[in-house]
Amino acid sequence: MLESLKKMFSGNEGDMPVSTGSKPDISREKSAELYEKAKNYFPGGVNSPVRAFKSVYGTPLFIQKGDGCFVWDADGNQFIDFCGSWGPLILGHNHPKVRDKVTEVMQNGMSFGAPTALENELAELIIKNNKFVEKIRFTSSGTEAVMSAIRLARGYTGKDKIIKFEGCYHGHTDSLLVKAGSGLVTFGETSSAGVPKSFAAETIVIPLNDREAIKAAFDQFKDQVAAVIIEGIPANNGLLMQDVEYIKYLENICKENKALLIFDEVITGFRLGFEGAAAHYGVKPDIVTYGKIIGGGLPVGMYGASAEIMGHISPDGGVYQAGTLSGNPVAMAAGIAQLTELLRSGFYKELNNKASEFAESIQRFATARNYKLKVFHVGSIFWMAFTDKDKIQSADDIDPASMEKFKVLHRELLNRGIYIGPSGYEVGFVSAAHTKIELEKAKRAILESLDVVFRNK
């Protein structure tokens, strides 16, 4: 079967036949029933806003099962999954080594609120193979890790203000749920009800990829900036890949102003490579945050830095941070199993090559058809943007009107058995569980769907 698929997809993707048109909508009857019931219990029927499918057609799919690169919904529909629980399932769903390790550890209990040897084991695995951290602290989520990193930066420097970038998302921490006002350098304006203006006033929001803006911010708020925080590679609002020269500029200007550089690697950490975007750019951030990938997808986060900076965290120092479930043994077990696999020789080379070939083949097809589509990718992360721009490096570079095309693409992909995040601003992820066969099937579905999208333009 693999050989026949290879023959089918050999040569120029532009020579492939166009699809016969839109596919009939899959059945969502049970998911729709569950969604209506969920509305009685949860705001909007969901426990995280993007799950409500407000940016795409139809009701949310309620997922019942995941295995390898597949998920199944409550109606029994099977999908090749490129969401992977929003990135951390780099080995795929229900990986046997992760599952077996978790099952083994669970026999002894699932939560203690006390130290376990598993914390030491996972920490040693990380620190020995990641030169950007000397000491770490586990948390229960990426948001919590970022919140703690910000507090640490303020406590370490004795300064209060934070610089963040428009288009970067760092979890739902109050001081970071802000957007830019008008002007080059602005105090943050709250982007969520319930966030006091006084919190947002400590956050300065500037455009990405703008040296003048970061210099102006440091000049305007001289000796007041504790830290600059940026996603390792911004991937929560499209895939906004920054030039290495710009990232090194951030590193240098932070040093000049005695501010810390924080890399939020909740998405990129252990995904681009074991050392994430920091190694990708060859930049040493002062503090790094990571997310669920270090727990095999279970609820966990982590922040780390030099031993000197981390020495300011309680009980060694005066910066308080705690968590009853921090270092939860089940999450630690899953992380040990997953990260051990990531350290296998050639793991990232094989995964990243596979993802690159997948993304580039879709781009070749779009280019041959003169479709206004660019497939941006780095490591095993990809993003399909309806644009003719060769670079998208800031939030302003994204055309909101292009999301109408994404809505059609999302529906067509679901109807062809492909699951991606329900927003055109979200990236996709290739996992080690995606074989060439599944990637060829997914590619065919994407190409057919693009034909439908652009036929209806």
Beta strands in 342-431 (DSSP E): 374-378, 381-385, 418-419, 428-429
Q: Is the pLDDT of residue 17 over 70?
A: no
Catalytic annotation on 264? yes
CA–CA gap between residue 116 and residue 103 (Å, rounded)? 16
Q: Which has more confidence, 452 or 11?
A: 452
pLDDT of residue 179: 66
Same domain assignment for residues 322 and 270 = yes
pLDDT tens-digit map of 152-171: 999 999 999 999 998 898 98
- How confident is the model over 116-137, as pLDDT tens digits? 999 999 999 999 999 999 999 9
Last residue of a domain, one of 297, 321, 342: 342
Structure tokens at 5: 């698929």
More confident of the two residues 450 and 170: 450
Based on the domain organization, do 113 and 172 belong to the same domain?
yes
Return the percentage of the chain with pLDDT > 70, whole number: 92
415 CB-side CA count, 13 A = 16
- Whether residue 91 is contained in a domain is answered as no
Among residues 396, 395, 428, 431, the alpha carbon closest in space to that of 409 is found at 428
Q: What are phi and psi of 73, to 5 degrees?
A: -95, 180
* Residue 189 scores a pLDDT above 90: no
pLDDT at 193: 76
Q: Which residue(s) pair with 318 in the sheet?
A: none
- Reported as a single tens digit per residue, the pLDDT across 319-366 is 999 999 999 999 999 999 999 999 999 999 999 999 999 999 999 999
Whether residue 86 is contained in a domain is answered as no
Q: In the structure, what pLDDT confidence band is assigned to residue 199 with cuts at 50, 70 and 90?
A: confident
- Would you say residue 233 has pLDDT above 80? yes
Are residues 319 and 353 located together in one domain of the fold?
no
Same domain for 397 and 327: no
Q: Cα separation of 207 and 167, whole Å?
A: 8
- 321 and 371 in a single domain? The answer is no
Asked whether residue 281 falls in the same domain as residue 332, the answer is yes
One domain, residues 41 and 141: no
Question: Is 317 in contact with 362 (CB distance < 8 Å)?
Answer: no
Side-chain-side CA neighbours of residue 258 (13 Å): 10
**pLDDT reported for residue 282:** 97
| 87 within domain boundaries | no
- CA distances for 145 relative to 53, 263, 265, 304, 428, angstroms: 27, 11, 10, 9, 23
21 in the same domain as 127? no
Is residue 334 assigned to a domain? yes
Q: What CATH number does the domain containing 288 carry?
A: 3.40.640.10
CA atoms within 13 A on the CB side of 95: 27
Confidence of residue 1 (pLDDT cuts 50, 70, 90): very low
**Type of residue at 243:** D
33 located within any domain: yes
Q: Catalytic site residue 197?
A: no
Exactly one of 35, 156, 169, 290 is catalytic; name it.
Answer: 169
Range of the domain at 380: 2-81+348-455
Provide mean pLDDT across the span 259-266.
Answer: 98
pLDDT reported for residue 322: 94
* Predicted local distance difference test score (pLDDT) of residue 198: 76
Tell me what the pLDDT averaged over the chain comes to: 92
Of 302, 323, 342, which one is at a domain's C-terminal end? 342
Q: What pTM value is reported for the model?
A: 0.92
Are 54 and 151 part of one and the same domain? no
**Residue-level pLDDT at 3:** 41
Strand, helix or coil for residue 226: strand
Query: What is the CATH classification number for the domain harbouring 380?
Result: 3.90.1150.10
For residue 263, the model assigns a pLDDT of 98
Q: Report in angstroms the alpha-carbon separations of 224 from 109, 161, 285, 357.
A: 47, 6, 19, 46
- 362, amino acid identity: I
DSSP string, 131-150: TT-SEEEEESSHHHHHHHHH
Catalytic residue among 101, 159, 292, 374: 292
Q: Give the model's confidence band at 299: pLDDT under 50 very low, under 70 low, under 90 confident, else very high.
A: very high
Shared domain check, 145 and 72: no
Task: Give the pLDDT score at 19.
Answer: 54
- On whether both 255 and 164 belong to a single domain, the answer is yes
Helix (H) or strand (E) holding 64, with range, is: strand 63-67
Is 88 part of a structural domain of the chain? no
Q: Which of 277, 307, 342 is the last residue of a domain?
A: 342
Domain-embedded: residue 90: no
- Kindly state the tokens that stand for 99: 């599952």
| List 73, 210, 264, 286, catalytic entry | 264
What's the confidence (pLDDT) of residue 391? 94
Highest mean pLDDT among 17-31, 97-111, 188-202: 97-111
pLDDT in tens, 378-404: 999 999 999 999 999 998 899 999 999
Does 10 have pLDDT greater than 50? no
Q: For 170-186, how does the pLDDT look when each residue is reduced to its tens digit (9 = 90+)?
A: 987 767 777 644 344 44
Count of domains observed in the chain:
2
Q: Is residue 250 a part of any domain in this protein?
A: yes
Residues 183 and 277 in one domain: yes
* Phi, psi for residue 122 in degrees, rounded to 5: -70, -40
pLDDT for res 196 = 73
pLDDT in the model for residue 163: 95
Predicted confidence (pLDDT) at residue 289 exceeds the cutoff of 80: yes
Q: What pLDDT, on the 0 to 100 scale, is given for residue 7?
A: 39
Give the integer Cα–Cα distance in Å for 216 and 419: 43
Lowest mean pLDDT among 35-44, 70-79, 180-189: 180-189
Please confirm, yes or no, whether 441 is among the known catalytic residues: no
